[in-house]
Amino acid sequence: MQTIWVFEQEGSGEDKIRGIRRHGGGRFDLKVHDITGALPPVLDDTSPYLPEDIDADLVLDFLKHPDLSEDLARMCVEKGVPIIASGKKCTVKGVECPPT
């Protein structure tokens, strides 16, 4: 079974998560990492908000904070985990950023 890890803020990926659960037919192990609460405009250190390790077959980025998305993308590329950051302007090479 493939593992999809969804990263979201304040439930920002709920519609997509619901779609994966509804149409995925139980073919995926779905993990959700929801970051809640107010964040400062700039995060010099994202480690309190992101996991130390990424263990997934695919990561979906629905984070709103650009510093979190950037660091998540770097972690995924470093680990060789494909990441899709829909609608983002991510500059990390190897990250798929399709338009929404």
How does residue 88 score in pLDDT terms, banded at 50, 70 and 90? low
How does residue 89 score in pLDDT terms, banded at 50, 70 and 90? low
The pLDDT tens digits of the residues spanning 32-83 come to 999 999 999 999 999 999 999 999 999 999 999 999 999 999 999 999 999 9
Per-residue pLDDT for 99 more than 80?
A: no
- Report the phi/psi class of residue 80: left, alpha or beta, with left for phi > 0 and alpha for psi in -120 to 50: left
Cβ partners under 8 Å of residue 32, min gap 6: 5, 6, 8, 13, 17
Burial of 59 (0-12, 13-18, 19+ CB in 10 A): buried
Which residue from 98, 100, 63, 93 is spatially nearest to 76, judged by alpha carbons? 93
Partners of 59 in the β-ladder: 5, 83
Domains parsed from the chain with CATH numbers: 2-84 (3.40.50.20)
Cβ partners under 8 Å of residue 80, min gap 6: none
Averaged pLDDT, 23-28: 91
d(CA 5, CA 85): 12
